[in-house]
A and B are shown apart, each in its own frame.
Chain A
């Protein structure tokens, strides 16, 4: 049908036209841009990983890379530094945290270490961190013992909150700390300290405090004298006794017990020998010479 020399105007072929229309279809473009590349990548990865040996190699490679990063010197911890602890506690800490240095900081479980250190009886609080320079820094605040407590199980050191800090070898090793005794004495440390503070004027004579029935205190003096203190107002009662002592030299007399348990009726117990002596003198005065 074409004329011999007629030159056709350019026109897209049927297939080029259809392809272009297809490429202009939004859904198809979405498919081509997102879904198809995703599927291709996914299928390549799946095929490659379907081999056991390749999987092992991949995981080995990943592990190696991980290890090589973790063991870089920047991440290594070489030294443990303990601040704020006395020598014995520091030794305790080193004992309960057995870490072989050098160690990667990725392998350190700081929270666990912190829990362990804070769990020590002598430690009030602890912070654990890795300091630059590869130092495991443990900063602790110790509990300070304020009393020596003698119980049935032995001698112990007690801090002001009533925590048993450590056991003491002997009373003489902690001569500067006051002594308390009796069951439940460690639970009333604050009161005990107040009593010791009030007993400052007779400090030289005070041997210690005894907790009686886990409710009240006895002050024990050096020659076996005792001051029974009431449950409530123990400090005031003790102050009264000291005031009496100042005025009348009460404690220098031959008393065994000053009983302040009933505040409106203080009672004195005189030593038996003195009572007998007192009776003898009474008889002499009366003129009764039976002996």
Chain B
């Protein structure tokens, strides 16, 4: 636990250094595409003063000066599966983004969607020694949370204090400076496979870049796709990606649950490829141009040419109707949404006051998806596009870039994480001296 604490703190310091320098790169390592944005910060000190999210949603201080995407290779289900290929892809995209930004970037904040995330809710409480809650007390109450046994080979990706309670008052976002006897906290912790993080870190390192932060894709896409009141009142963000479908639930502007379904748009493509006997690239193209989930009478007459050049005249001139394509796509999309439904059920989403569901990610562009999703997930479904940020090229404003844009927000205004607070005094080896000092302070 301490190791991760240290490495996360090191990353956080590096992120601060990058913001001091003014340039940081965002790397969204997805299964279908890898996107890189280069951010330039203008006024970090101004940002630090603003409390809460603010009118510009914390995006007033930065600007996107470089953006590039490339087809992903070596990434499957949101995890690095072929190291060399992934490294080459990262190199390609970083180089292109640097070229557009005309500046060299050294620090990169990465996000990935896979690695089987798992959410834990933790609770901890302490008795306050002093009357007034201070920074140390917050650190202590966070440290007092009982760690679940999340298994070997897993690492904590996010550990965010969601709620503080002082005596019997709950729902405090910042208890510092308040009076009370007992301080309790609820913390949301997200663990992922350690191997996935290490692989990604290794790939980034091999590109001569410094990893200045790491985030879960389902978390950051919700940051950009959910509007402020949805984050406040409670909403789920479903990020339909290529290899995985990320689900995150927000409440009171904090993520309280995140998970991922290991199914996504690539599976739809492979279904088409298998069902229509066409290569994957063509299946992808057909899906993009003609895809849908609701068949109408018109679709029976709209024929899609399946051209190929095998030399077999019959094979090269096959045609399918769009209805057939939809017939192939719909069961898989339904399956994905059913999985999402079961995840939401498991998370107790139906007990939330507001049950808004926002679909985003590249897969959400299937025509008619919102209709299908509202049948499976519930009535309050909408399609979400990422927030507009300064300088983002038009090509990168689609829902497929929700997590990349969310990473920008994450980079500029990160949530307080557990490791942002100092280690509680008791954890230090010099604890006896500190105690002596405190005893002195209290008695003299």
Contact = CB atoms under 8 A, between A and B. Distances in A.
Binding between chains A and B: yes
Interface of A: 1, 8-12, 14, 17-18, 20-21, 24-26
B99 interface: yes
A18 B208 contact: yes
Interface hub of A11, A18, A25 (most chain B Cβ within 10 A)? A11
A21 B108 CA distance: 14
Contacts of A25: 104
Interface in B86-111: 88-89, 91-92, 94-95, 98-99, 102-104
A14 B85 CA distance: 12
B98 A21 contact: yes
Contacts of A12: 91-92, 95
A80 to B, nearest CB: 68
A1 B82 contact: yes
B70 A9 contact: yes
8 contacts: A1-B82, A8-B88, A9-B71, A9-B89, A20-B99, A24-B99, A24-B103, A24-B104
A11 B91 contact: yes
A21 B208 contact: yes
Contact of A20 (B70, B85, B98): B98
B98 A24 contact: yes
A21 B98 CA distance: 8
A12 B103 CA distance: 17
Contacts of A26: 103-104
Interface of A, secondary structure class, is loop
A33 to B, nearest CB: 14
A238 to B, nearest CB: 97
Contacts of B99: 20, 24
A8 B74 CA distance: 11
B31 to A, nearest CB: 15
A214 to B, nearest CB: 89
B224 to A, nearest CB: 27
B207 interface: yes
A12 B85 CA distance: 12
Interface residues of B, number: 18
Nearest to B207: A17
Contacts of B207: 17
B101 to A, nearest CB: 9
Nearest to A11: B88
Contacts of A11: 88-89, 91-92
Interface string B58-72: 000000000000110
A86 B99 CA distance: 84
A277 to B, nearest CB: 125
Contacts of B85: 8
Nearest to A10: B92
A17 B91 contact: yes
A24 B99 CA distance: 8
A21 B210 CA distance: 14
B444 to A, nearest CB: 55
A26 B98 CA distance: 13
A24 B106 CA distance: 11
Contacts of B103: 24, 26
B89 to A, nearest CB: 7
B73 interface: yes
Contacts of B98: 20-21, 24
Contacts of A1: 82
A14 B92 CA distance: 10
Contacts of B88: 8-9, 11
B206 to A, nearest CB: 8
Nearest to B70: A9
Nearest to B104: A24
A9 B73 contact: yes
Nearest to B84: A1
B124 to A, nearest CB: 45
B280 to A, nearest CB: 11
Contacts of A14: 91
A10 B96 CA distance: 12
A10 B92 CA distance: 8
A21 B104 contact: yes
A196 to B, nearest CB: 93
Nearest to B73: A9
Given A1-B82, A9-B71, A11-B89, A20 B208 contact: no
A17 B95 contact: yes
Contacts of A10: 92
A15 to B, nearest CB: 11
A174 to B, nearest CB: 92
B51 to A, nearest CB: 35
